[in-house]
C-alpha cells in the first residue's frame, strides 16, 4: 500500500534537523489507548486500519500519536488525505475529528520508531525550546 501526505502538509523534516512548521486543518480517525503509552501504536493499528479499510479510505503518512497523559493515555490517529472526507461507517472504538491549523517545532528522526528514541528526541526539542523563548508549548507532544 503506498501512502502520501494529507493535503497541504509540509514535507517531513530531515533527520537531525529542528524546524518550525505550519500545518493546515486536517481530519483524522482516532483511537484512544489507556495504559502503557509504549504499546499505543501497536494496539491502535487494527481498529484504525479496519476503519479506513471499511470506508475505502487510502492510508496517509504520518500516523500521529499524542501523549495526552504520558504513560497513561495516548491518542493514535490515521490522517485523512483531505479535511472534507466523510466516512460512511464509524465503529464505536474510534472517533473522527478535525484539528485546527497549527504551528509546531519539529525534529527529523531516522531509524527505529521506539519509545527510547521518542524520549531522547523530545529532550532535544525541550533543549531547543529553552533557547528559543519566542515559542511556547501549548499542547502535549505528538509523534
- Domain residue spans in the chain? 18-130
Pick from 49, 50, 43: nearest CA to 74: 43
**Is 3.40.390.10 the CATH number for 18-130?**
no
Pick from 88, 77, 74: nearest CA to 27: 77
| Cα–Cα dist 104/137, whole Å | 9
Question: Can you give the pTM of this predicted structure?
Answer: 0.87
pLDDT band at 61 (very low <50, low <70, confident <90, very high): confident
Give the model's pLDDT for residue 3.
Answer: 66
Residues 52, 71: contact at Cβ < 8 Å?
A: no
Give the model's pLDDT for residue 140.
Answer: 86
Q: What is the pLDDT of residues 7-46, one digit of tens each?
A: 999 999 999 999 999 999 999 999 999 999 889 999 999 9
Amino acid at each position: 500500500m503506498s501512502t502520501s501526505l494529507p493535503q497541504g502538509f509540509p514535507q517531513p523534516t530531515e533527520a537531525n534537523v529542528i524546524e518550525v512548521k505550519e500545518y493546515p486543518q486536517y481530519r483524522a480517525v482516532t483511537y484512544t489507548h489507556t495504559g502503557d503509552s509504549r504499546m499505543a501504536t501497536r494496539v491502535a493499528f487494527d481498529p484504525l486500519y479496519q476503519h479506513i479499510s471499511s470506508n475505502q479510505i487510502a492510508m496517509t503518512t504520518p500516523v500521529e500519536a499524542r501523549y495526552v497523559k504520558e504513560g497513561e493515555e495516548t491518542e493514535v490517529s490515521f490522517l485523512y488525505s483531505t479535511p472534507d472526507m466523510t466516512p460512511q461507517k464509524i465503529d464505536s472504538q474510534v472517533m473522527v475529528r478535525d484539528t485546527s491549523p497549527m504551528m509546531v517545532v519539529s525534529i527529523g528522526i531516522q531509524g527505529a520508531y521506539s519509545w527510547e528514541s521518542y524520549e531522547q528526541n523530545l529532550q532535544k526539542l525541550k533543549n531547543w525550546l529553552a533557547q528559543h523563548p519566542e515559542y511556547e508549548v501549548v499542547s502535549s507532544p505528538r509523534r
